[in-house]
Amino acid sequence: MTISLSEDERALVDRFEQAGQGHVFRFLDRLDAAGREALFRQTEEIDLTRVAELAATAGAPPRAPGNLEPATVLRPDELPGDELREARERGEDLLARGTVAALLVAGGQATRLGYDGPKGAYPLGPVSGRTLFEWFAGRLRALADRHGRPVPLYVMTSEATHEATVEYFRSRDWLGLGEEGVKLFRQGMAPALDDDGRLLLESPGRVFVAPNGHGGVFEALQEHGILDELDARGLAEIFYFQVDNALVRIADPVFLGLHHGAAAGMSTKVVEKTDPAEKVGVVVRRDGHLEVVEYSELSEAQMEERGPDGRLRYGAGNIAIHAIRTDFARRVAEGGELPFHCARKAVPHVDADGAPVRPASPNATKFERFVFDALPLTESSVTLAVRREEEFAPVKNAEGSDSPETARAALTNRARRWCEEAGLSVGLHGEGVAFDLELDPEFVLDAADVRRRLRQASP
Ligand code: UD1
């Protein structure tokens, strides 16, 4: 069968052929009109110059290790009391002036968790079964109540999670945040390349693409007009967090205040890594520039090395919470300089006959940008150490470490500690818990709130 192509379609096919990617159209004659239309629409969006750059990246040798030094980390218990108070007040002032937006990245596919839906819809409340999205929304409602101004929520989704996430929020009346209080936008996608630098077809009528990494957030904020919107709404600071952290203290005023006080472009929260083998990235200085290195990039000796205080020398564990100034985000987006990281993966595709192939071992390279690669671009930055048990309980795996079970236990333990600090004995001692405990995130924002609520209950 011969297919007649329009001039534009012919030009598109020619461009792909010249770039050595003409094979993506090899099944055109097997597709119906709608299938062809969909393939043309998809391929029109593929930037062939970028594909060539990605192919060069995949073939490049790994970067030199450089000269690593630990980052300077602020520890709240080592800060003078008045500095801490000043930071808190500064952060509270930012919130009271309505200058802070929350930015949630939720475009990942939750493959390790094995959950069939957006990760944020995963039920996690130890008692209530509240989902991660409900935890976040409860805290945002409480912040609006406490400071008198809302913290609007921006959620980055991807092709993989967008529809289901929109449906989740819509069908639950935007979780009480108002439709204007939540904005969902899609991140970009990136292709995978085989060992010859060729695009893969996931089906005869579709090129394989995957979310381009959380570092795609800068480009996506710009492309969807959100940076302009943030400016127009006076939202000068962005509190960035990941969908998988059940303990995240969204828009924590101390962090925002320290970041703002240092006129920082981008700041990071870290927890002290105690187990050298823990799989978190660490904030370091490489050749003088602040950076996150992934655990896989550190040598065994570097992972184990300790300073004179007995702490791991490279122990500032990245918990993927950042404060980002809106104008810095714009600078990063406009610069378009964040590198792509390569990962070898087994990518299902169709072969030259159109038959499906499910490779058992890696057959292609996927490309992702990482948000923390913007850190070296900021002149000033705060790296704030926080207590793991108060702020970091990621849900990554279905079982074992970093699973729903460990996150629920962390929520229960934190609730117990907050109650006990307020003088309310809940009859639990030590780390092992006998029953589940949960504090409504809208009712109590922090330990001090438990005391306040108790006073209200018995004046
Ligand atoms: C990440 C960090 C690691 C940090 C750890 C803390 C990287 C490479 N590493 O690890 O330094 O210590 O979190 O928990 O990020 N996402 C998108 N779009 C994408 C990919 C991911 O929005 O294209 C979102 C996910 O929905 C999730 C977050 O980014 O909210 C983290 O992604 P994930 O790939 O699970 O990060 P980790 O490898 O676990």
| Interval 179-221: pLDDT, tens | 899 999 999 999 999 999 999 999 999 999 999 999 999 999 9
Mean pLDDT of 41-53: 95
Query: Which tens digits make up the pLDDT trace of 336-388?
Result: 889 999 999 999 999 999 999 999 999 999 999 999 999 999 999 999 999 99
Mean pLDDT (the chain) is: 94
**Within 6 Å (CB) of ligand 1, which residues are found?**
105-108, 156, 158, 187, 211-214, 242-244, 280-281, 292, 318-320, 368, 370, 394, 396
- Centre of ligand 1 to C-alpha 214, Å, is 7
| Token pair listed for 348 | 């299902």
Nearest atom of ligand 1 to the alpha carbon of 107 = 22
Nearest atom of ligand 1 to the alpha carbon of 242 = 30
Determine how β-strand 153-157 pairs with β-strand 100-105.
parallel
Q: How far apart are CA 391 and CA 393, in angstroms?
A: 7
- Centre of ligand 1 to C-alpha 215, Å, is 10
pLDDT of residue 61: 80
Flag whether pLDDT at 431 surpasses 60: no
pLDDT of residue 3: 79
Mean pLDDT of 70-85: 93
Q: What is the dihedral of CA 403, 125, 175, 104, to 10 degrees?
A: -30
Threshold 0.85, pTM exceeds: yes
Per-residue pLDDT band at 433 (split at 50, 70, 90) = low
pLDDT of residue 428: 56
pLDDT of residue 81: 86
Query: Whose alpha carbon is nearest atom 6 of ligand 1?
Result: 319
| Token pair listed for 288 | 């003088």
Residue of 130, 128, 127, 138 lying closest to 433 (CA atoms): 127
Determine how β-strand 364-368 pairs with β-strand 341-345.
antiparallel
Please choose from 159, 186, 240, 244 the residue to mutate so as to test ligand 1's pocket, defined by most ligand atoms within 8 A of CB. Answer: 244
Q: How far apart are CA 131 and CA 118, in angstroms?
A: 11
pLDDT of residue 296: 83
Provide φ and ψ at 276, rounded to 5°. Answer: -55, -30
10-24, 53-67, 136-150 — which is least confidently predicted?
53-67
Flag whether pLDDT at 434 surpasses 80: no
Give, for 242, the enclosing helix (H) or strand (E): strand 237-242
Mean pLDDT of 34-43: 96
- Centre of ligand 1 to C-alpha 406, Å, is 18
pLDDT of residue 457: 83
Return the biggest CA–CA distance within the chain.
84
Burial call 227-254: b when 16+ CB within 10 Å, e when fewer = bebbeeeebbbbbbbbbbbbbbbbbbbb
- Centre of ligand 1 to C-alpha 436, Å, is 28
Helices H / strands E in the chain, number of each: 14, 19
Flag whether pLDDT at 452 surpasses 80: yes
pLDDT of residue 200: 98
Flag whether pLDDT at 94 surpasses 60: yes
